[in-house]
Structure 1
Amino acid sequence: MSDVLVTLPDAMRGELKEPMGPLFTDAESLLSEIDGPLLAVGDVVTYHLERAGTVPDVAVVDGLTKREEVEDRVAEGVARLGGETREVHVENPAGGLSRELVEALREAIVDPEPTVLVVEGEEDLVALPAIVAAPLGASVVYGQPNEGMVHAEVTDESKAAMRDLLSRMDGDSEALFEILDAG
């Protein structure tokens, strides 16, 4: 596994249970609220956006939902993006953020070509650095298990909140912020 920058301490897990924005169960309704770059975190979210005819600027997938392999229809929907996007494979551990993933995320955000980051491991924490690295006005959409899709708008306030969360994780948050702030 590549160099791990930060890991989520057990004591902080509860802080990540609350949605970081409004919940949607319908991709069309969600998309009507979005104006600006779109970052999708999770296979099921990416699948629903693809089904609604939208290619996210950045999609982060790991082939899993709730720690189980995604259904074939979800995997096929994500795979359909392959013809329209650049695909980058990275490693990332459960409960952490690797240097490889964070660097690839940063590059994908600034790349004008849509990118799918295929994670070997787990992508559960990617919404946090995505909000920090994305431009103001962007949208980060991630799945809330058994509830729907969360629309987190990238604002000065959401960036500050994510920086606070990431800075309290175990590891080298300074190195993490150096990568996220580059560009």
Structure 2
Amino acid sequence: MKMTQQAWEKMQERIGLLITGEIPEPYKTLKGMLAGEKVIAIGDVVAENMLKVGIEPDMIVVDGKSMRTNRMKKIECDITVKNPASELTEELISAVRKGYKRIFVEGEEDLAALPAILYAESNTLVVYGVPSEGIMVIRPTEENK
């Protein structure tokens, strides 16, 4: 499934809470907000920083890159799926829907927040990075789905 221009514009609408600040402050703030929720981390930097502050995500989706640049530090994963840039493959959607704990994406994981929001339980927070700003935290409500 390839993203259309209309879908990209819709994606620019912020439906969650943007937590700003220098790393690791947004992650410390997030940790203080948690009250038993499950957490899904989308992105290498997000996952790595959550782990550094003591948040153990229930699901991690990474691609081995940050800002499309290869990273040296790799996160061990349970499954590898293919997903080209600007697309959502059935392979990625299925891995998220099945609830794999750690998903490695060959390609790009940026759009993985969409199936994560769609299939997550309401007691879950989906977290992804917003470059040069902080992290976006979304609770998957019926309205957000």
Backbone CA RMSD of aligned residues? 1.6
Which residue matches 1:38? 39
Amino acid at match of 2:51: E
Q: Of 103, 110, 127, which aligns to 2:94?
A: 103
Which residue matches 1:151? 137
* Secondary structure at 2:88 match in 1: strand
Amino acid at match of 1:51: K
Which residue matches 2:60? 59
Residues 59 and 117 of structure 1 are in contact (CA less than 8 Å); yes or no, is this contact kept in structure 2? yes
TM-score computed with the length of structure 1 as normaliser:
0.70
Following superposition, the deviation at residue 12 of structure 1 comes to 2.9
The answer to whether 1:122 aligns with 2:108 is: yes
Q: Note the alpha carbon deviations across 1:86-119, whole angstroms, 9 max, x for none.
A: 621111111111111111111126xxxxx11000
Q: Of 122, 135, 142, which aligns to 1:136?
A: 122
Amino acid at match of 1:106: R
* Secondary structure at 1:94 match in 2: coil
Which residue matches 1:15? 10
Give the helix-richer structure, 1 or 2: 1
Amino acid at match of 1:88: I
* Secondary structure at 1:38 match in 2: strand
Which residue matches 1:89? 80
Which residue matches 1:27? 27
Amino acid at match of 2:4: P
Q: Note the alpha carbon deviations across 1:123-158, whole angstroms, 9 max, x for none.
A: 111111111100012100001111111110121211
Following superposition, the deviation at residue 22 of structure 1 comes to 1.4
Q: Note the alpha carbon deviations across 1:58-86, whole angstroms, 9 max, x for none.
A: 0000012222223x3xx25xx3xx3xxx6
Following TM superposition, where does structure 1 have runs of at least 4 consecutive aligned residues deviating by more than 4 angstroms?
Answer: none
Q: Structure 2: any 5+ residue segments left out of the alignment?
A: none
* Secondary structure at 2:111 match in 1: coil
In structure 2, what is the Cα distance between the partners aligned to 1:150 and 1:11? 21
Residues 90 and 101 of structure 1 are in contact (CA less than 8 Å); yes or no, is this contact kept in structure 2? yes
Q: Note the alpha carbon deviations across 1:24-52, whole angstroms, 9 max, x for none.
A: 24211112223311101011110110101
Residues 137 and 155 of structure 1 are in contact (CA less than 8 Å); yes or no, is this contact kept in structure 2? no
Q: Percent identity?
A: 35
